[in-house]
Each structure stands twice: as C-alpha cells, then as structure tokens.
Structure 1
Amino acid sequence: MYDDFPARVPWNWQPHLNELCAEENIDFNQLIEAFAGNKSDQEIAVDLNTSEKTVQHLRNHFEQYGIGSVIGQD
C-alpha cells in the first residue's frame, strides 16, 4: 500500500528563527523569553542590544511561521 509513495525528506520552507537570531548575534533563548513575557519590541531591542526594526522582523517571522516551518513527508 505505501510502496506507491516514494519517501520524501522534509525541508524548511523558511529559515528557523534560531538561524535568523544567529545572523544578528541575538540570543535565541532570550528572545523567546522576551516574547513569552509580552515585552514590547522597544524593550527587547534594548535588552538584546539590537534595533527595534530587527526585533519587529523577528517577531513577525515568529508569529507567521513559528520557530521553524518544516514541510514534506517521510
């Protein structure tokens, strides 16, 4: 029955949030904790020593795609 479907390896549709954080030298765990604590983008930017625009981008990515967006099937 399953022999009719070839195995497919899952792939990422968007980069993982931790990869985006690494590119910006932002601590991923601190960012997630700040999101969980309902901190504003401005507060997070100050805490993580980055721009508010960068935090806005990361928040939008997180809200739209989550931590990672894997597609495909085994």
Structure 2
Amino acid sequence: MATASELRTQIASKEADIKDYEDLIAPLHVDIKDLNVTLESQQAACEHLSIATGEVVDGRIILTCENSDCGMQWVATVSPSG
C-alpha cells in the first residue's frame, strides 16, 4: 500500500502530465511577425492582424483576428520563419 506522500507525488505527476496535454490542445496563438503566412484567399489582411488565433480545420489553418471589433478570418498555411 502506498504512503500518503507517495500518493501525493503520483497525483502531482499526473497533474503535470494533464497540464502538458492541455498546453498541446490549447488554441494556437501565433504572432504573425514570427511566421511566414500565406493567405489562401485574395482577401487582404486587416490592419490589426498581428496576433491571431489559429485552429486547424480539415487540414487547413483558419486564422482569426483577435481584435474584438474585427474577427476577420482567413484560410492560411503557416511555416516557421527562417
């Protein structure tokens, strides 16, 4: 039988594993300045598109402007700058 201390250690370890998993599935926040972004539509980016929330939908990345008054969306492919 495990001691209380051992159980606390096991629980803390599991909580850390869950936290790591949550980080992986959290919304992707991308700073456009750090990425090469290719918009798949001819639509120009809005003037505030420097920070966007991205989500993968059917193998494509949907970027949404985080300006609460805007919310424009684009389909994009994103690759690291470099």
Per the normalisation by structure 1, the TM-score is 0.22
Q: Specify the structure having the higher radius of gyration (Cα).
A: 2
Higher strand share: 2
Higher relative contact order (CA 8 A, sep 6+): 1
Per the normalisation by structure 2, the TM-score is 0.21
Higher helix share: 1
